[in-house]
Structure formats: structure tokens, C-alpha cells
Amino acid sequence: MPRPNDTIGNFELMILLAIMQVGDNAYGVPIAQEIEKHRGKPVSIGAIYAALERLESKDFVTSEMGEALPERGGRAKRYFRITKKGISEVQDTRRALIGLWSRLPQLLEKRS
């Protein structure tokens, strides 16, 4: 059984999926935009970074600082990448959710 620190919540799952979608340019703003695009609701950038910190502490993502940019007042962007452990957690979560959904016909989307 996984320890609580080795699992992810719904929002963390969305962040991991967004990082995978965004690719090499995954830092706070594009991650938030990707989630907002699919969720249809605004996302707090503070919530994004808090979740990224949790994900990094669980070894589901790694980060590295980019170059300082004049248009950012000399501040650098912090880029995130999903780890193999993170990909495995996404796959495990997907499997569990599909298994749960498959036995709840009232939640399945009707196909026309």
C-alpha cells in the first residue's frame, strides 16, 4: 500500500498531465494555462507553485532554473519536468480511475 506522501491528489494529477503537455517550456504560467484551457476555470499561480513544491518533494518532478531575463526584471524561470516515478504515478492513477469509472455506468459519457 502506498504511503500518503507517495500519492497524488486531483490537482497534482492535473499539474503532472499539464507538464507532459507543455513539454520543455513547463513553468508556472504555461502549466496554469494548460489546466485552465481544459478545466474552464482560472487557476491560482500560487496554488500551482505550492503543488509543484509538493510534487518535487515526492520526486514526481524535478526543476531547474533557466537564465535570468531582463523582461522579468532579471529573474529566472523555474522549469519543471516529470520524472519516471511521476509518469508511473500518473499511469497508476489512470488505471485506478478507469477501473472505478468502468463500474459506474451513470458516469460514463454517452457516445452518439
CATH of the domain at 73: 1.10.10.10
Please report where in the chains the cell 507532459 appears, as a residue: 20
Has residue 12 been placed in a domain?
yes
Has residue 39 been placed in a domain?
yes
Has residue 31 been placed in a domain?
yes
What percentage of the chain has pLDDT greater than the value 70?
84
Residue 70, pLDDT score: 67
Other Cβ atoms less than 10 A from the Cβ of 34: the count is 20
State how many domains the chain has. 1
Q: Which domain holds residue 34?
A: 4-98
Alpha carbons within 13 angstroms on the beta-carbon side of residue 2 total: 11
Has residue 110 been placed in a domain?
no
- Cβ(81)–Cβ(65) below 8 Å: no
pTM score: 0.83
16 vs 7, which has greater pLDDT? 16
pLDDT tens profile 91-106:
999 999 888 888 887 7
Has residue 106 been placed in a domain?
no
Distance from CA of residue 16 to its chain's centroid?
A: 2
Mean per-residue pLDDT for 45-66?
A: 94
